[in-house]
């Protein structure tokens, strides 16, 4: 298959590999411990592990976009902020 029409740079490849790995890890976690006990957090509605993963990925995308718009092209601080955000989401949401 010829994927030369796509902008496959190393950061792009790493991004998709990380997303795939997170989804696979969540699948394994769900297989080992089914259900995961939905809980009510600060949003005041029940969320599952998958919901929290989705919210953390969506929020991380917005953090990176805001960083690109306001801070410039170096995304290392945005990555660090996204990791802290994801930990917060899994802990409190």
Q: Does residue 59 fall inside a structural domain?
A: yes
67: which residues sit within 8 A by CB, 6+ positions away? 75, 77, 78, 81
Domain range for 70 is 10-92
Q: Does residue 30 fall inside a structural domain?
A: yes
Are the C-beta atoms of 52 and 92 separated by less than 8 Å? no
Q: Does residue 1 fall inside a structural domain?
A: no
The model's pTM:
0.78
Q: Does residue 29 fall inside a structural domain?
A: yes
Residue 83 structure tokens: 């990791």
Q: Does residue 75 fall inside a structural domain?
A: yes
Q: Does residue 36 fall inside a structural domain?
A: yes
Q: Does residue 74 fall inside a structural domain?
A: yes
| pLDDT at 11 > cutoff 80 | no
Q: pLDDT by residue (tens digit) across 21-75?
A: 999 999 898 899 887 788 898 888 898 888 899 999 999 999 999 999 998 888 8
Query: Three-state secondary structure along 18-79?
Result: HHHHHHHHHHHHHHHCCCCCCEECCCCCEECHHHHHHHHHHHHHHHHHHHHHHCCCCCHHHH
Number of domains in the chain: 1
Residue 82's SS3 state is: helix
Q: Does residue 28 fall inside a structural domain?
A: yes
């Amino acid at each position: 298959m010829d994927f030369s029409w796509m902008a496959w740079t190393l950061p792009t490849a790493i991004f998709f590999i990380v997303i795939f790995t997170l989804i696979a890890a969540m699948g394994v976690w769900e297989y080992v411990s089914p259900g995961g006990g939905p809980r009510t957090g600060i949003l005041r509605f029940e969320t599952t592990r998958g919901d929290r993963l989705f919210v953390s990925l969506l929020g991380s995308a917005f953090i990176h976009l805001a960083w690109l718009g306001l801070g410039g092209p170096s995304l290392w601080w945005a990555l660090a902020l996204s990791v802290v955000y994801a930990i917060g989401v899994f802990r409190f949401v």
